[in-house]
Amino acid sequence: MYFEVAKEKFEYLKQHYKEMDVFVLAIESSCDETSIAVIKNGTEILSNIISSQIDIHTKFGGVVPEIASRNHLMAINGVLNEALQKANITLDKINAIAVTYGAGLVGALMVGVTFAKSLAFALEIPLIKVNHIKGHVSANYLCEKDLKPPFISLIVSGGHTAIVKTISKTENVLIGTTLDDAIGEAYDKVAKVLGLGYPGGPKIDKLSAEGENNIMFMKNDALKKSFNFSFSGIKTAVINYIHSCEQGKKEYNKADVACSFQTQAIGTIIDKTIKACKKYKIKTVAVAGGVAANSYLRKNLLNACEKEKITCYFPPIILCTDNAAMIGAEAYNLITSGEGLADLSLTATPNLNLKYTIKKN
């Protein structure tokens, strides 16, 4: 019964979204941020409440999945109330509930998915399932109102590194991805061996400013001609360098290690992004994911794009790291294209991958 009513309302939204205001309540809980947002007509952020668990996980040197799930559970009701209050809206005005169902930590995702299903059922409104990575791409629509496909999406986060050709608001083609570690993961692991703590990205970014790119970690890039990435080699090279210095009781400069790692790892990302633009004759790049906050990437990708007359968009930092506003933006694109409707059998899909959801060219 619920699904018939939800389906009817979904069809109505798809037919009439141009003549009405559509309010999506979006939920994100895939890792260590509990976030709920209210998005009006796909681009207007009425609220975007983010409760971060970073302080809780820092003492363990990384996200502890079980602790993450429990804290989502404790935070989610309060985050919902705050999101509704800030948006000055009541639940009866919400047209659809959107939720991240993958990729991410299974227990963490389950909290958001179960909460979303309960809300959709109680309110008798459509439930929209959102792929977290596509959500990161859609963050760009929230800040660049004129952004229109086709463009190249560069997705750089703790779980993913991918160059994607965004063909339409819901269609993406994977051009290249990492064969092992994600860029953010490599940052976090290198920071750990340098004793900088978690999350490593911002710490390496800051320390790099005091160092020089004078240690060669990325010696022979076997993937030079491909659009794919590999960061496990550079990560191991950094770890081996530190260990051999420590064993030989040789001093090393942490800032130089950070700067060399960052310059070389981000360097390959910039090169491949520009190459992809040239190959597919695309003049726009939109960056997504937590590593989009990186100051070296921002400065140097913008410079490289300027040289090639490519327009490059970076969302503001708050929309780069995990947040529910991007999930709401993606859900609106799905609704208006008649996609994404889920029934109450929706489950968390931890390994939901770009490869399964994005057509490979």
The least CB distance from residue 250 to Zn ion, in Å, is 38
185 binds Zn ion (CB under 5 A): no
What order of strands is seen across the sheet that includes strand 284-288? 311-313, 284-288, 151-156, 161-166, 172-177, 359-360
The least CB distance from residue 131 to Zn ion, in Å, is 11
188 binds Zn ion (CB under 5 A): no
Site for Zn ion in 141-180 (CB under 5 A): 157
Site for Zn ion in 287-326 (CB under 5 A): 322
Nearer to ligand KG4, 199 or 340 (CB): 199
Q: Give me the helix-helix angle, 183-193 and 254-279, nearest 10°.
A: 170
35 binds Zn ion (CB under 5 A): no
The least CB distance from residue 300 to Zn ion, in Å, is 22
The CA dihedral of 193, 177, 202, 71, to the nearest 10 degrees, is: -90
> Which residue bears the tokens 């906050």?
293
- Choose among Zn ion, ligand KG4, none what residue 87 binds, the Cβ cut-off being 5 to 8 Å by kind: none
Residues near ligand KG4 (CB under 6 A):
31, 157-159, 184, 187-188, 199-202, 205, 289-291, 293-294, 321-322
CA nearest neighbour of 286 among 131, 173, 143: 143
Percentages of the chain per state (helix, strand, coil), in multiples of 5: 50, 20, 35
Nearer to ligand KG4, 292 or 341 (CB): 292
Structural tokens at position 316: 């503001």
Cα 322 from chain centre: 6
Cα distance between residue 74 and residue 256, in whole Å: 41
Residues 6+ apart with CB under 8 A from 71: 32, 34, 53, 56
- Choose among Zn ion, ligand KG4, none what residue 202 binds, the Cβ cut-off being 5 to 8 Å by kind: ligand KG4
Nearer to ligand KG4, 123 or 352 (CB): 352
The least CB distance from residue 321 to Zn ion, in Å, is 7
The least CB distance from residue 184 to ligand KG4, in Å, is 3
Residues 6+ apart with CB under 8 A from 70: none
In 144-291, where does DSSP find H-type helix?
183-193, 200-208, 232-247, 254-279
The least CB distance from residue 280 to ligand KG4, in Å, is 25
29 binds Zn ion (CB under 5 A): no
Nearer to ligand KG4, 186 or 334 (CB): 186
Q: Are 329 and 135 in contact (CB under 8 A)?
A: yes
Residues 6+ apart with CB under 8 A from 114: none
Please give the size of the binding site for Zn ion, defined by CB under 5 A. 2
205 binds Zn ion (CB under 5 A): no
- Choose among ligand KG4, Zn ion, none what residue 354 binds, the Cβ cut-off being 5 to 8 Å by kind: none
The least CB distance from residue 321 to ligand KG4, in Å, is 4
Nearer to ligand KG4, 236 or 336 (CB): 236
- Chain residues binding Zn ion by CB under 5 A are 157, 322
